[in-house]
Amino acid sequence: MEHLLAALRAVAEATRLRLLVLCAHGELTVSELTQILGQSQPRVSRHLKLLCEAGLLDRFREGSWVFYRLSQSSSVGALARQLVAACSEADPTIALDLQRLGAIKRQRADLASAYFRENAAQWDRVRSLYVDEREVETALLDIIAAADPRDLLDIGTGTGRILEILAPRVERALGIDQSREMLAVARANLERNGLENGLVRLGDMYQLALPDASFDAVVIHQVLHYADRPAAAIAEAGRVLRPNGILVVVDFAPHSLEFLRSEHAHRRLGFADNEVAAWCGAAGLDPAPPRHLVGDPLTVVIWTAQRPSPAKPRFAEDLREQVAESLLERELR
Ligand SMILES: C[S@@+](CC[C@H](N)C(=O)[O-])C[C@H]1O[C@@H](n2cnc3c(N)ncnc32)[C@H](O)[C@@H]1O
């Protein structure tokens, strides 16, 4: 009961209630919230600190930026959502806050699409070298539909395209990327598509700030060719997979288009099936036969691998018995 009282005390103040409502509409930085509320940054930060301490808001850092959003995990998260629902959007103060928030989101989306426009020409040139993207996406969707995951991780999410197509299939979809600009585009795309179960975070595929065994599916789509340590990236992906969880890697078969290295920062000119299978095996995953989508000049390959479920006690017992029997047999011989 004490945590509920603490949460109610924390929110019993006009600015803090406004902050709660604003953070229910997206992930916002202190400077965005300061701009909307028209109050000083130290004051807004102090209010945010109280709301976080009460478990009503989550705070997370992305490089030098700090974001706030309505609590997803704490036991008072449900109370936070109920309080927000009880606040009428027709209230003049709340209506003005939301109007200012709308202007900030539009500004963000404009910046993001300008960045995307600058890079799109480069990406389109690479895309024209292989099979129609829709074919790859359909194959990916089939794999994910069959695996039916609850929690999905998209490593190197870029503009969030994979989250866009897979988030509607899962309960929770998280994209990580090392580029803040890409994440800005991804955030704008998720918002535009109303995908509230999709989140993106700054992160490094070699060192995911995520607990072991926390996802049912991990996708690495057109990212591995940038990796200087692909085996380490696959091992890290395997670490966060739950038993029976599935890893899907989509990349190119070996090729000789050197300009992808010199002009597009690719480190690896594709991967051989046995090489990817060995990395999956070393990560403790069972590789399945890959699927090749033959294109000219690039072939896209979809490699999948599954984390085996832990040996059942009965199986372990059988194994122990078999070993003991064979040792006994050897001794008797
Ligand atoms: C070609 S984009 C692919 C984006 C997305 N997976 C897709 O297919 O639409 C490659 C992405 O990998 C990201 N990336 C490269 N190295 C990374 C690393 N070490 N950790 C996280 N992301 C990385 C890049 O920032 C870029 O957004």
User: pLDDT truncated to tens, each residue of the chain (333 aa)?
Assistant: 888 898 999 999 999 999 999 999 888 889 999 999 999 999 999 999 999 999 999 998 766 678 898 887 678 888 999 999 999 999 999 999 999 999 988 887 777 667 666 776 676 667 778 888 899 999 999 999 999 999 999 999 998 999 999 999 999 999 999 888 888 889 988 988 999 899 999 999 999 999 999 999 999 999 999 888 899 999 999 999 999 999 999 999 999 898 888 777 788 889 999 999 999 999 999 999 999 999 989 999 999 999 999 865 544 455 455 545 554 454 444
Q: Rounded to whole angstroms, what are the CA distances from 284 to 19, 63, 77, 320, 321?
A: 45, 32, 36, 22, 25
Angle of helix 2-11 relative to helix 14-23, nearest 10 degrees, comes to 100
Q: Give, as one character, the DSSP assignment of residue 207.
A: B
User: What is the rounded distance in angstroms from the CA atom of residue 140 to the CA atom of residue 133?
Assistant: 11
210: left (phi over 0), alpha (psi -120 to 50) or beta: beta
CB-CB neighbours of 214 under 10 Å? 16
Tell me the longest C-alpha to C-alpha distance in the chain.
91
User: What is the rounded distance in angstroms from the CA atom of residue 221 to the CA atom of residue 198?
Assistant: 17
**Atom of ligand 1 lying closest to residue 126 CA:** 1
Which of these, 196, 213, 193, 220, lies nearest to 279 by C-alpha position? 220
What spacing in Å lies between the alpha carbon of 147 and ligand 1's midpoint? 24
Site to probe by mutation for ligand 1, drawn from 182, 220, 226 as the one with most ligand atoms within 8 Å of Cβ, is 226
Q: Give the pLDDT confidence score for residue 332 in this predicted structure.
A: 41
User: What is the rounded distance in angstroms from the CA atom of residue 13 to the CA atom of residue 2?
Assistant: 19
Which amino acid, 210?
A: L
What spacing in Å lies between the alpha carbon of 317 and ligand 1's midpoint? 44
Which amino acid, 180?
A: R
Q: Give the pLDDT confidence score for residue 131 in this predicted structure.
A: 80
Q: Is 164 in the pocket of ligand 1 (CB under 6 A)?
A: no
What spacing in Å lies between the alpha carbon of 226 and ligand 1's midpoint? 8
- Is the peptide bond between 211 and the residue preceding it cis, with omega within 30 degrees of 0? no
Q: Is 115 in the pocket of ligand 1 (CB under 6 A)?
A: no
Strand 172-177 relative to strand 151-155: parallel, antiparallel, unpaired?
A: parallel
User: What is the rounded distance in angstroms from the CA atom of residue 302 to the CA atom of residue 140?
Assistant: 8
User: What is the rounded distance in angstroms from the CA atom of residue 150 to the CA atom of residue 244?
Assistant: 12
Q: Is 198 in the pocket of ligand 1 (CB under 6 A)?
A: no
Q: Which DSSP string corresponds to 279-310?
A: HHHHTT-EE---EEE--SS--EEEEEEEPPPP
Q: Give, as one character, the DSSP assignment of residue 194.
A: T
User: What is the rounded distance in angstroms from the CA atom of residue 190 to the CA atom of residue 319?
Assistant: 49
H and E: helices and strands count for the chain: 13, 11
SS3 199: strand
Do 242 and 215 touch, CB atoms closer than 8 A? yes
What spacing in Å lies between the alpha carbon of 182 and ligand 1's midpoint? 8
Which amino acid, 322?
A: Q
SS3 64: coil
Q: Give the pLDDT confidence score for residue 205 in this predicted structure.
A: 95
Residues composing the chain: 333
Q: Give the pLDDT confidence score for residue 116 in this predicted structure.
A: 61
Q: Which two tokens stand for residue 126?
A: 């690479």
Q: Give the pLDDT confidence score for residue 328 in this predicted structure.
A: 42
Q: Is 216 in the pocket of ligand 1 (CB under 6 A)?
A: no
Q: Give the pLDDT confidence score for residue 327 in this predicted structure.
A: 45
SS3 13: coil
Sign (positive or negative) of CA dihedral 16, 21, 22, 26? positive
